[in-house]
Amino acid sequence: MDFGVTGKLWEYGIGSRTSTMKEKNADRSFAEIAATKAAEKEASLRSVNEMRTTGANHYMGESYEERISKITDKTAASAFQTAYAKKMAGATDYISTISKAYSTGKAGATNFEDAFPQYDVITHVGNANISSGNWQRNDFPFWKYFDKNTSADALNDWKPEGANPSQMRSDLQRNYNSVGSGRIAILVPESLQQKMDADPEYARQIMAKLQAWKEDYDRWDNTVAASYGYNVAEHQAGKSYVFDLDENGDVRNCTVTGPGRITVSSSEFVEARKKREAKCAEYEKLAEKSALKRKMLEQEIEERCYKRNLVNQVVFNAYEKNIMEL
């Protein structure tokens, strides 16, 4: 597995570190690749309206608009649109199928080993507390989480030295290569583990949540790989993952290594979700105030109408009385 860095960045809008992919798919002709791209683009365009209007339009925990707004690379953006359209359509194409297969575990799984049986899974229960700034550094030693003897909080006090180094640095290349493929390391807060131990149904929900997040990521990532003509099966099989979960089982930080690159997602997922929840609460309060004001206004209008009707009735009665006296 070669982790030599190139200048090409697959910008996923989640902070990326990129390195070369040596395993190109030599069996696919340029015509086949072009045809695949054209078909995927057409599917994406057909579904764009549905993407923006559907209420169930979340991908990797974010809405279509939130995610697409963070993607700066055109290839990654196009791949995201295609992957999103496939998810919304329930597509069963090759990329969707292989992405799902590597994120599907035993039915009713209540632990991460059963949720991801295709991988060598290591779970660290504890209170990891890594800032997004540290996590996104090229020299953050995430590879240590693949050691069973590393505790969840082992890197909480890690501090960087100097500027963010290049991935080309020889010691980093060795550490990246040490991870290997087909592995998953998961950091689980103690409070989350306790809730899962006490409630198997809740544990199943957490497993399903992480499986869905990973399937979304892989569908998108594999779509990017296919657009460059790489062998998707080999690309998928070569990946390893570190998932840092929050107390609700949502992905807080994530690093994905593979035959070609390291991708890092930061805690922006959690921060964005918290902001959305705060906004929702604020909108609800505003809606309640608006409804109360509307009700008070309606009551005021009704009262005015009632008084106006009384006045009109008095005037009318007086008019009739004058007419009769005449």
The per-residue pLDDT for range 155-188, each reduced to its tens digit, is 999 999 999 998 888 999 899 889 999 999 999 9
Tokens of 248: 């609700």
Under 8 Å between Cβ of 247 and 192: yes
pLDDT value for 318: 59
Amino acid at 288: E
The reported pLDDT for the residue numbered 5 is: 29
**Alpha carbon distances (Å) from 269 to 61, 141, 200, 244, 249:** 7, 21, 26, 11, 12
Query: What is the percentage of the chain residues whose pLDDT exceeds 90?
Result: 49
CB 79 within 8 A of CB 227: yes
**What is the rounded CA–CA span in Å between residue 15 and residue 10?**
9
Q: How confident is the model at residue 279 (pLDDT cuts 50, 70, 90)?
A: low
Q: How much is the pLDDT for 218?
A: 95
Tell me what the mean pLDDT of segment 251-256 comes to.
92
Which are the contacts of 166, defined by CB distance < 8 A and separation ≥ 6? 5, 138, 172
* pTM for this prediction: 0.68
Question: In this predicted structure, which of 52-56, 259-263, 284-288, 299-303 has the lowest mean pLDDT?
Answer: 52-56
Phi (first) and psi of residue 62, to 5 degrees: -130, 160
Contacts for 191 with CB less than 8 Å, ≥ 6 apart? 247
Strand spans (E) along the chain: 16-18, 58-59, 62-63, 120-125, 183-188, 240-245, 251-257, 261-265
Tokens representing 283 are 């909108």
What are the pLDDT digits (tens) for 196-252? 999 999 999 999 999 999 999 999 999 999 988 889 999 999 999 999 999 999 999
The pLDDT tens digits for 51-92 are 444 345 789 888 888 888 888 888 888 989 999 999 999 999
* 192 vs 247: CA distance, rounded Å: 5
Residue-wise pLDDT tens digits, 147-159: 999 999 999 999 9
Three-state DSSP at 182 gives: coil
Measure the CA–CA gap between 266 and 258, rounded to whole angstroms. Answer: 18
| Residue among 100, 123, 98 at smallest CA distance from 212 | 100
Residue type, 250: D
Of 250 and 41, more confident: 250
Q: What is the mean pLDDT of the chain?
A: 78
Distance from C-alpha of 221 to C-alpha of 274, rounded to nearest angstrom: 26
